[in-house]
Structure 1
Amino acid sequence: MKKRSIAELRQLFASEKITEHLLESLRKDERKGVQQLIRGYLRKQQKLQEAEKMFVAMSHYEHEGYLQQYKWIAGVDEAGRGPLAGPVVAAAVILPRDFKLLGLTDSKKLTRQERLTFFEIIKQQAISYGISMISNKEIDEINIFQATKQAMYNAINQLNPRPNYVLLDAIRLEKLPYPTRSIIKGDQKSISIAAASILAKVTRDKWMEKLDKDYPQYAFSSHMGYGTKQHIKLLNEHGATPYHRKSYAPVQAAIRRSIGGDTCANT
């Protein structure tokens, strides 16, 4: 039988129409290109198996809730507690019971493109989701912890249907009228919380990217408002914008430096 060309085999592997019988026969093909295709295929299969295993593990709390007869299980998470500028954003999401998105995990562990792709998939497939944003001014008024909780309450209240069980990432919401479970590192242990973390982070990142266009001298798109060395340097050079959190020490220090000068940015 005539051997298939490397180009033909490459197309076959790309189509993922590889049977065990074909794979076994190709193992006997001594061509270097064929063996490279096999190794690449096996690596990909191993990654898929690992992703499947991780997704099953991260579905544990949801399955536990279903066994307790909870139908609408919501995951809740936030983005932006630490930055010196911009809002804090919380998201709540109820996923279908048969939802599957391999690679879903804590938003911080994903690339920007992965987050954007997952963001659209989650919005399209979710039974319901809510996103809430609390401004830097309100953060200064009530403190970041209370602002985060308020954003979470707001996001949950947007859900329709209402949840009857809520999974939270390492925080407690005492005012909810239904059972909750607070999970340490929940965005790495629950698919619902991970999905919420992506909705929150992408929403906040998009907001900061828009702010970057109004204040290009602060390079918000590169640090998203977090207190990096670059951000601190630019904050001290240009003063605080109306979107900086004035209750945060580095911002207070920059404001003190700008008093009597002209380095405080305006809208």
Structure 2
Amino acid sequence: MFEIFFEDDKGERSLVWQNSWAFTTRVIGVMVMIHGDDKGLVLPPKVATVQVVIIPVPYKNVDFNQMLDACNEVSQKLESAGLRVKQDTRDNYPPGWKYSDWELKGVPLRIEIGPKDIENKQVRMVRRDNFEKEDVPLEKVAQRAADLLDEIQANLFKKAKEVRDLCIKKVFTWEDFIEALNDKKMVLAPWCDDVEVEEDVKARTKGDTGAAKTLCMPFEQPDLPDGTVCFASGKPAKRWALWGRSY
């Protein structure tokens, strides 16, 4: 679509920046596949609609209204710190069922509040990424929740990057390139930056392995020693390129 305009923050009529290669749906799919586990979604805190869910854990003969007041107090502290919070006060499900329900939905951090927590002026925090638990004093609840969300975000990124890095193999020759493709790897190889050579690579790999093509030229380029040649053509290499199968 062309000639799409919007009014910017200066009140001026501006053209939109757009693409049409299903970037949004692909990113969502990759996020679900990379971070999810057998219990369901695992959402990075920065994109989670609900970052923290608060669940009361009532016992028999306990004043439930007192527990709701405690949940409200914690919720207000977290919201004042800019966190996105949800209280699950449904009375037709037990706490254990709620835990599983919110784990399935991928909420990054769960806060449990029971009678002993109220008595000890604390809450229990449970991370979705590794299920680590800790008891946190009430006066520190907002700061600790924010810190944990940062830790979860960093941990998910670190784990995803490690998985990504394990899927990349660095090669210099055509034989090693084919072997890496057969191992279902992305391949980092020196390239002459010639479109005709890329088309030749596609043609030569189409039969046995599924056509391979350039995925990107990494911004952070490894050192390219003098005299390095293109893995596919033997011409002088100009840069490193990441290659992979086209599915």
TM-score range, shorter chain: under 0.3
TM-score, L = length of structure 2: 0.24
Higher strand share: 2
TM-score, L = length of structure 1: 0.23
- Bigger relative contact order, structure 1 or 2, given CA contacts below 8 A and separation 6+? 1
- Decide which structure has the larger Cα Rg and report it: 2
Higher helix share: 1
